[in-house]
Structure 1
Amino acid sequence: MQQTYQTLLDSNQHHSLTNDEIVSMLIQGEWEDRENRKINRYLKAARFRYQANIEEIDFTASRGLDKTQLLRLADCSFIKNKQNILITGPTGVWKSYLASALGHQACIQGFRTLYFNTQKLFPQLIMSKADGSYQKQVNKIEKHDLLILDDFGLQPLDNKTRMMLMEIIEDRHSRKSTIISSQLPVAKWHEVIGDSTVADAILDRMVHSAQRLELKGQSLRKSK
């Protein structure tokens, strides 16, 4: 409010405004400042792999990306509807960038978001069991409106990581949204997860009513 008032004084706008208009502008300035600070906190806490924006996505590359579908997802109604998004495709087609861009959009719209590379998440959780902070970490993941699990399925899951994934997915099922990106098509996730009973339970919760972005084509990194 102080900054807004100083701006009014410096520009001499206050002479042409009523008291009510000045108070309204001060309140608006305070609200915008708080919203911007909240968004910056959310973006910093999310720890995205890429500083990605929907506006910077290249739709001209031939990779099967539906612009209409992506822009529809950018309104974040999938988070309000507690839906998941599954992004699959070969390496280099910007799966991680798309996931980060949707996460960035979620932060802007006031949704608390958390990003993890799946290959780093499970070792962190295993270490947290050793120091007694595991449940705290799992509860933290559960509370976020949007969870992004990037690079899922690069390695088969063992029993520990399989049960950790089950717990995370179960906590979020029908309550929160999750974005999962993977080089493997969804049809091969069952094999990566392992134990058929647990895999069935996880996939039923992850895939049910999920929206999919199935990308294709050659690596954009290679073309560049």
Structure 2
Amino acid sequence: MLHQHTIAQLRDLKLLGMANALQRQMEQPGSSDMTFEERLAFLVQHESDHRNERRYTRLIQQAKLKYSQACIEDFDTRAGRGVERSQFTSLALSEWVSTGNTIVITGATGCGKTWLACALAQYACRMGHSARYLRITRLSEEIRTMRVTGTYTKWLTELARTDLVVLDDWGLVGLDAQARDALMEIVDDRCGSRGTIITSQLPVDHWHAWIGDAAIADAMLDRLLQQSHRMVLKGESLRAPSRSRTPKKPV
């Protein structure tokens, strides 16, 4: 009864990891052989693990990644992909997010740019960083909606506080004035303090022309590329070919 009362108190205190661990201790005969210090360490460790898992779950939900299950351990770095395993691992495990670096991933369609960006963002969430995935192709429409609902300024503020922002499909469609201004705000807020990932089919040398406004392009690229790491993915498309339909037999 005493243990059940203690477990109930732990749950009331929102110490769910400790409560579950104590419940398991009570159900395992061998736990009585542990010292008080060992049992306490076991409870504290489970509470820490439980909180970390809850934090990760919240961060990954808020990130809204296109591929939320992508992880750096599964990235294909075989010969011909253009990225060496040691180079990739060294970058992924570094402090590039907190030092405000930009990772630029370019390559042909279907080569895995978006998947890789999501894997890096997922690992950042595992390390406790907040992240957010944005598609440039939908940016103008989303901005128009937010301006109508009065949430545009709040959205910019939230992005400025986010540790890592993924800008997917950079250069795929033309920019209108409001999308260009929004990107400038996003990039300026992150310069030197928070991480950014950009995926693009468009080579970096063509970005200035794509942005359109020369002054904004100069300012944006100066902020993005002064602390950047570039990866050029190569090889054939990784997307599965669509299955050919079996023709119907004539009646």
User: The TM-score by the shorter chain falls in which range?
Assistant: over 0.9
Does residue 186 of the first structure (1) align with residue 208 of the second (2)? no
Matching residue within 151, 158, 162 for 2:176: 158
- Number of residue equivalences: 224
What's the counterpart of residue 119 of structure 1? 137
RMSD of the TM alignment (CA)? 1.5
What's the counterpart of residue 22 of structure 2? 5
Q: Secondary structure at the match of 1:211?
A: strand
What's the counterpart of residue 85 of structure 2? 67
CA contact (8 A) 2:83 2:232 kept: yes
Give the whole-Å Cα distance in 1 for the aligned partners of 2:44 and 2:163: 28
Structure 2: runs of 5+ lacking an equivalent: 1-17, 243-251
Give the whole-Å Cα distance in 1 for the aligned partners of 2:36 and 2:236: 61
What's the counterpart of residue 18 of structure 1? 35
CA contact (8 A) 1:150 1:181 kept: yes
1:81, distance to aligned residue in structure 2 (A): 1.8
Does residue 196 of the first structure (1) align with residue 214 of the second (2)? yes
- Runs (4 or more) in structure 1 with deviation over 3 Å come to none
1:216, distance to aligned residue in structure 2 (A): 2.1
Query: Which of these two proteins has the greater Rg computed from alpha carbons?
Result: 2
CA contact (8 A) 1:76 1:106 kept: no
Identify the range of structure 1 (114-123 vs 190-199) with the bigger mean alpha-carbon deviation.
114-123
Deviations 1:61-93 (A, max 9, x none): 522122112111221411122111000111011
1:160, distance to aligned residue in structure 2 (A): 1.5
Name the TM-score, length of structure 2 as normaliser.
0.85
Bigger relative contact order, structure 1 or 2, given CA contacts below 8 A and separation 6+? 1
Give the whole-Å Cα distance in 2 for the aligned partners of 1:202 and 1:148: 16
Deviations 1:149-190 (A, max 9, x none): 111111121221111111111111112110000001100111
Name the TM-score, length of structure 1 as normaliser.
0.95
Does residue 93 of the first structure (1) align with residue 111 of the second (2)? yes
What's the counterpart of residue 163 of structure 2? 145
What's the counterpart of residue 53 of structure 2? 36
CA contact (8 A) 1:88 1:213 kept: yes
What's the % identity of the aligned pairs? Answer: 38
Identify the range of structure 1 (179-188 vs 79-88) with the bigger mean alpha-carbon deviation.
79-88
